[in-house]
Amino acid sequence: MGGLPTDQEYKELLVPCFEFLVRGYGLSTELPRILTTYDEAERHERLYTPHPGEEGTWTVLIGDGLTLNDHVFIAYYQYSEYTQNAVRILFSSIAKHDDFDKKNHIYPKVMPWHEETRKIRVSGFNISGTNAFLGLRILGIDLPDQTLIRSVTKEVHQVKKPIDHNAPKPPELQLGSGQINVSEDQGGRRPLSQTVILDHEFEWLGSGPIAKKSKTKHERTITRSQRKKNIKETNTVGTGEPDSSKDVLNATINPTTNKDNATEFEAPEQGRIMDLWNACVKARLLNPSIVNAVHYYTFEEDFNYNDKPTLMAFSVNSETLENEDISDGEKQAYKNWCYANSNKTATRGALVIRLSLKNCPPVYIFDIQPAIYISNVEGKSIHKERGHSGLVFRSKTLEQFEQYISDLMKSLPLSEGSYSKTLQGSNLVTQLFVFRRSKSAGFSDGESTLLNALRKIGITNIQLKEKTEEKPTVIPPKNKRM
């Protein structure tokens, strides 16, 4: 077994039950949660979707909220009685202590879920006076045979409902103290599955998960309602025309793929983007024992640092504009979104930040530049930002990180800034969470948003308030009367 000293042979390897559960059973946080929470009937519903099988193979259509790399365990669970029995023993060992008022101790029984002999690499120490080794952390594991396993591809077709102009207006989405999030995905820890437990030290022994595709496909059609716009204020642009006017909507748009338009540009002086960047710089200054460095990233500059970061511009893809399956209205919305203002003179960009941490893999933060508009409120023109959610994540390699950023830059204009399940379920990144702009007393918006993002990924020891030394209060002596 890897990770064991070569000068001594061990007859017994001991691994903590939960360590084997979270690293030996699957890749996502959702899988152990399902196995330890739900009875057998509901486990089946959540782990896989019934579908027509393929003769001579183990076809598996994993349930919603699980990563694609969980398919090896799920295939064995679906087709192997041995795996199902192992899960039954695990669930029973927890369920029999369901009377938590008595404060019973729970001793979960975690068994190997297949019968094959495979390698495992651990780190730990030998137990003095014995031939046993205690493996505190699993650093690598070899999966069982995957020859028969085939992953069924999901295909979802969306059909739009016609807009009902007589329907009541939808309520405004409120965030904190009145901030409106126009992104369709409200963020948070959804879906849970996209949090991958494996850390940067873990590596597969052998080939790792092999996602061979099945010949069959699972097709599903969903009807998506078109939302009726809820307009409370008159939004105007520099021309004085409202956003909804024909002059603005039909204005000529030059895609950012033109040579005359920059693909990367300096961040604006003020706003959400600079607030978040300044918060990251402050985190580095006040936490030198935790944060090694702060950099922004662009395709042209790579990782760099300046007082004002460089943003990468979202661009209009000519292939999308030539796609006959996309309506003219959708193409117009797609083109409009690539601009940060309503009269389409300022390109919208994205800020990518890397926080290099001591003794931990780096954390990446991706945020979309908000659109700026002018709102007339009680006769006054006020500049406002129409913001989107951001992403915080980790990535195992630089190549996977760059590919994921490329996927984001290409896909987000198509969804008008909403992170699709495909983007959130990408295998190129780990520990991915959506975060939103937040406000907290005593912090700027950028500082509060940064702390919110880092909390989601499990970092809670960053301080953004400068420590002030309290001077002792000197009490003057009382005058004595003579």
- DSSP letter string over 28-65? BSHHHHHHHHS-HHHHHHHHB------TTSEEE-BPTT
Within a domain: 409 = yes
Q: Are 149 and 234 found together in one domain?
A: no
Amino acid at 319: E
CA quadruple 79, 81, 85, 88: dihedral, nearest 10: 50
Q: What is the pLDDT of residues 189-227, one digit of tens each?
A: 333 334 455 555 677 787 777 767 777 666 655 554 444
Per the document, the length of the chain is: 482
Q: What would the two tokens of residue 208 be?
A: 């790792």
Same domain, 241 and 128: no
Q: Give domain status of residue 315, yes or no.
A: yes
How much helix, strand and coil, in percent to the nearest 5, is found in the chain?
Answer: 25, 25, 50
Query: 270 with 138, same domain?
Result: no
Could you tell me if residue 369 is inside a domain?
A: yes
Q: Among 153, 175, 207, where does a domain finish? A: 153
> Residue 145 region, left (φ>0) first, then alpha (ψ -120 to 50), else beta?
beta
| CB 273 within 8 Å of CB 368 | no
- 248 and 131 fall within a common domain: no
Looking at the fold, whether 138 and 253 belong to one and the same domain comes out as: no
Q: How many CB atoms are located within 10 Å of the residue 463 CB?
A: 12
How much is the mean pLDDT over the chain? 75
In angstroms, rounded to a whole number, what is the distance separating the alpha carbons of residues 400 and 333? 30
Does residue 250 lie within any of the structural domains? yes
Same domain, 307 and 428: yes
CA atoms within 13 A on the CB side of 342: 24
Q: In this predicted structure, what is the pLDDT of residue 46?
A: 85
Pick from 176, 348, 385, 353: which is nearest to 282 by CA?
353
Say if 465 falls within a structural domain. no
Q: pLDDT (tens digit, 9 = 90+) per residue, 125-144?
A: 888 888 889 988 888 888 89
Q: Is residue 398 part of a domain?
A: yes
The segment with the largest mean pLDDT, out of 86-90, 162-166, 302-306, is 86-90
- Residue 386 and residue 183: Cα distance in Å, rounded? 9
CA torsion through residues 177, 178, 181, 184, sign: positive
Determine contact, residues 456/450, Cβ cutoff 8 Å. Answer: no
Does one domain contain both 148 and 235?
A: no
Cα dist. 67→20, 51, 76, 146 in Å? 18, 18, 16, 17
**Measured CA distances, 243 to 153, 224, 231, 238 (Å):** 41, 25, 11, 10
Residue 182 lies in a domain: no
CB 150 within 8 A of CB 54: yes
Choosing from 101, 123, 153, the residue where a domain stops is 153
Same domain? 255 vs 404: yes
- The count of domains in the chain is 2
Range of the domain at 358: 229-456
Residues 237 and 381 both lie in one domain: yes
- Facing residues of 386 across strands? 371
The top-scoring range by mean pLDDT among 5-9, 277-281, 337-341 is: 277-281
Q: List pLDDT tens digits, range 453-466.
A: 999 888 888 988 87
Boundary-marking domain end, from 119, 153, 187: 153
Distance CA 367, CA 352 (A): 7
pLDDT digits (tens, 9 = 90+) for 159-180: 655 655 565 554 443 333 333 3
Amino acid in the structure at residue 308: K
Q: What pLDDT does 363 receive? A: 94
Are 147 and 240 contained in the same domain? no
Would you place residue 104 in the very low, low, confident or very high pLDDT band (cuts 50, 70, 90)? low
Please give the C-alpha separations between residue 320 and each of 204, 327, 332, in angstroms, as whole numbers: 38, 11, 11
How far is the C-alpha of 353 from the C-alpha of 309, rounded, in Å?
9
Please indicate, yes or no, whether residues 134 and 256 belong to a single structural domain of this protein.
Answer: no
Q: Max alpha carbon distance in the chain (Å)? A: 110
Average pLDDT over every residue of 386-397: 86
Domain shared by 320 and 443, yes or no: yes
Mean pLDDT to the nearest integer, 361-386: 79
In a domain, 186, yes or no: no
Q: What is the pLDDT of residue 209?
A: 77
